[in-house]
Amino acid sequence: MDEAQVQRIMNDPDFQSMAKKKTGLGMIFTVMVLIVWFGYLLLVGFDKEMFAAPVSAGSMTPIGFYIVIAIMIFVPAITWVYVSKANGEFDTVTRKVIDKINAGSL
pLDDT by residue for the chain (106 residues), tens only, comes to 678 888 888 899 999 999 999 999 999 999 999 999 999 999 999 988 888 899 888 889 999 999 999 999 999 999 999 999 989 988 999 889 888 888 876 5
Number of compact structural domains in the chain? 1
Residue 15: how many CB atoms within 10 A of its CB? 20
In a domain, 16, yes or no: no
Q: Is 42 within the bounds of a domain?
A: yes
* Structural domain harbouring 33: 22-103
Find out whether 106 and 12 touch, Cβ atoms under 8 Å: yes
Domain membership of residue 57 (yes or no) is yes
**11 is a domain residue:** no
In a domain? residue 35: yes
Distance CA(8)–CA(31), nearest Å, equals: 32
Residue 73 counted as domain residue: yes
